[in-house]
Every structure is written in C-alpha cells, then in structure tokens.
Amino acid sequence: MKNGRLITFEGPEGAGKTTILKMVAGKLREMGYPVVETREPGGIPIAEKIREIILNPEHKEMDAKTEALLYAAARRQHLVEKIMPALDGGAVVLCDRFIDASLAYQGYARGIGIEAVLMINRFAVEQTMPDLTLYFDVEPETGLERIRKNFREEVNRLDMENLSFHRLVREGYLLLADTYPDRIRKIDAHRTVEAVYSDALRTVCAYLERHWKKTGTSESL
C-alpha cells in the first residue's frame, strides 16, 4: 500500500500549471515534505521519447486513437518506473498532467469518448489514481495568447490546434471537475501568478494536513 500522495496539476494550454507546480514544490520542500516533481507525457526516458512522437508538430496525420494509446503507454511506463516507487517511499508526487488530460483532450475534444479513453487508462494505471487534482481553468483565448507572448520553447502539436479544439478541451475539463468534485479542485487561472499560486498552495496544504503524515526524505527525481 502506498505511503505517499499523488497530486496532479491539470489545465488547458497556457493555464500556467507548470509554473505553479514548481512554485508549490519549492514551498512544500521548505515545509519539510519529501517532494517528487514529474510530468506527462514524460518523466522518464522511455516516456520522454514517446512525448517527442506525440507532440512533434510534423505528425499532423496522427490518428486520435493512436494518440490516446501512446499517451496511455507513456503513462504506464512513467507510473511503474517513477511514480509508484516514489509513492511507496512516502513522497508527495506533483505531476504535471495525468489521466484527466487524456480524458479531456482525447476523450472529449477528439471525440473518442471519455468512457473509451478511461477504459484504456484503467488498464494502464490499474488502481493508481490522483489523490488530489488541481484544475487551472482559463479561457483558451487567454491561454494561447500567453503562449504567444512568452515565446515558449516547446510549441507542440497541440498548441497548433484551432481555437474550437481548445474550447472543447476546456469543456472536457469542466465536465470532469463536475463529475469528480471530491478529487478535482478548480482554480481560476485568469488571475496573477501570485494569486493563483497562493490559491494552489493553500489547497494542497489543506489536503496534506488532513491526509498525509510527514515521512521519508525530500527528493526531486
């Protein structure tokens, strides 16, 4: 049985979740929590290679179901190689995207169906689901404009999708937030970085104070 906790950070493109995750991770370490930061797709060499395939802007012809299966494959390897050992060791794992991303992007926005994508991912993750999910909500127009202004190094295939696709992604996330209110906490990401960070940190700390005992050693894998 796992000793740690899996906390995932989700949101549409440009929501700022990656920035906030790093800020929260740093503060939790200062507070004495053993923290592991990671991301999906990626986190370990095999999954990072799958990430390159999925997000390569040249792969415009990729079928939606192929995309969903590649995400699930990367997730499985990432889980068994990094997340599960960290949880078993008593760490707080902060993961930039996890299963909800597949449900929102491939299940809802791509039109495969949330239940169909959930079935694929149940095979991949088995019983390991997030203990807490922070969903950073932002309108797609705002998120994509942030990406353009910041000249983000990694402009990937998803960034290049049309606005209607990104609107569907947001709809998918909002549907998931309504479906799993006990797990998913919605955070308004239209605000300043400081305001979003404060809200996210407060949410994470409140959860950990109720559900987690401080054990283990602080670590970033």
How is the beta sheet containing 92-96 ordered, strand by strand?
Answer: 35-39, 92-96, 5-10, 132-137, 184-188
- Say how many domains are in the chain: 1
Give the DSSP letter of residue 31: T
Average of per-residue pLDDT across 35-40: 98
Average of per-residue pLDDT across 103-115: 98
Cβ contacts of 3 within 8 Å, gap of 6 or more: 87, 88, 89, 90, 215, 216
Q: Is residue 73 part of a domain?
A: yes
Structure confidence at residue 148 (pLDDT): 81
Which residues pair with residue 8 across a beta bridge?
95, 133
Q: Check the annotation: does 111 bind a ligand.
A: no
Q: pLDDT higher for 217 or 121?
A: 121
Q: Is residue 76 part of a domain?
A: yes
Q: Check the annotation: does 142 bind a ligand.
A: no
Residue 1 CA, distance from chain mean position:
23
pLDDT band, very low/low/confident/very high, at 153 (cuts 50, 70, 90): low
Structure confidence at residue 144 (pLDDT): 87
Asked whether the beta carbons of 218 and 34 are under 8 A apart, the reply is yes
Q: Check the annotation: does 18 bind a ligand.
A: yes
Q: Is residue 53 part of a domain?
A: yes
Q: Is residue 173 part of a domain?
A: yes
pLDDT band, very low/low/confident/very high, at 43 (cuts 50, 70, 90): very high
With a cut of 60, say whether residue 209 has pLDDT above it: yes
Q: Is residue 217 part of a domain?
A: no
Structure confidence at residue 24 (pLDDT): 98
Q: Check the annotation: does 13 bind a ligand.
A: yes
Average of per-residue pLDDT across 194-200: 98
Q: Is residue 86 part of a domain?
A: yes
Task: Give the global pTM.
Answer: 0.92
Q: Check the annotation: does 143 bind a ligand.
A: no
80 is in which domain, residue-wise? 5-211
With a cut of 80, say whether residue 34 has pLDDT above it: yes
| Domain CATH for 195 | 3.40.50.300
User: Counting beta carbons within 10 angstroms of the beta carbon of residue 156, is it exposed (0 to 12), middle (13 to 18) or buried (19 or more)?
Assistant: middle
Q: Is residue 48 part of a domain?
A: yes
Asked whether the beta carbons of 137 and 13 are under 8 A apart, the reply is no
Q: Check the annotation: does 209 bind a ligand.
A: no
